[in-house]
A and B are shown apart, each in its own frame.
Chain A
Amino acid sequence: KNQVEQSPQSLIILEGKNCTLQCNYTVSPFSNLRWYKQDTGRGPVSLTIMTFSENTKSNGRYTATLDADTKQSSLHITASQLSDSASYICVVSAKGNTPLVFGKGTRLSVIA
């Protein structure tokens, strides 16, 4: 069964600190992996998309990594800001016209 598991479920960090969120998946055959940021009461916003051949991709203070062999991805946030407080969702797509598989997200709270 195609699944996406994220950890931790929630995380609280001090402003200015770094953090890393994890995503493990069993989706096959793998097409791409996406990280989204979802503010409370809003729709998800795309941060990165990575295909099989990409190991790392950055978007400002966000850096995503992908290990297609171990089926793991991480999202690293550098120098966190209060506005980074949100849910971060890992989404994996299988090849072909199949539904995306969503993780439950990691709820990040950045505090002053």
Chain B
Amino acid sequence: GAVVSQHPSRVICKSGTSVKIECRSLDFQATTMFWYRQFPKQSLMLMATSNEGSKATYEQGVEKDKFLINHASLTLSTLTVTSAHPEDSSFYICSARESGHSYNSPLHFGNGTRLTVT
């Protein structure tokens, strides 16, 4: 089955530093990938839609300069949390849909990245 690999699974960083999270589709091509944030006992909240070869589309309230997204290839999207603060501590999850598949096709999720900013 389709696998999405997310790395790292856990990261602890100091306030003010930047953290990069990678999302890779291992056995399929993904024109579009999605980045979510999930707080404890809460639903996944879409942050942005990452499109290969073009700028990401950010949801309302998500700062594009703080959460930098790069989708340089059909199998890799990265999310960089810049100048991280303790309130950015959360569980970040990416998902991908196979290129050419309809909106009714499954979304494949990564296993998430637990970010803790101290």
Contact = CB atoms under 8 A, between A and B. Distances in A.
Interface in A81-112: 89, 93, 95-97, 99-100, 102-105, 107
Contacts, number: 52
B33 interface: no
Contacts of B91: 41
A43 B9 CA distance: 11
B54 interface: no
A46 interface: yes
Nearest to B44: A102
Given A31-B103, A46-B106, A99 B46 contact: yes
Interface residues of A, number: 24
A9 B21 CA distance: 31
Given A44-B109, A45-B109, A93 B46 contact: no
A42 interface: yes
Contacts of B45: 102
A85 to B, nearest CB: 15
B107 interface: yes
Give the contact-size bracket for chain B: 20 to 34
Contact of B111 (A42, A93, A103, A104): A42
A107 B42 CA distance: 11
Interface of B: 4, 6, 41-46, 49, 59, 91, 93, 95, 103-112, 114
Closest 6 CB pairs of A and B: A43-B109, A102-B43, A104-B43, A46-B106, A43-B111, A44-B109
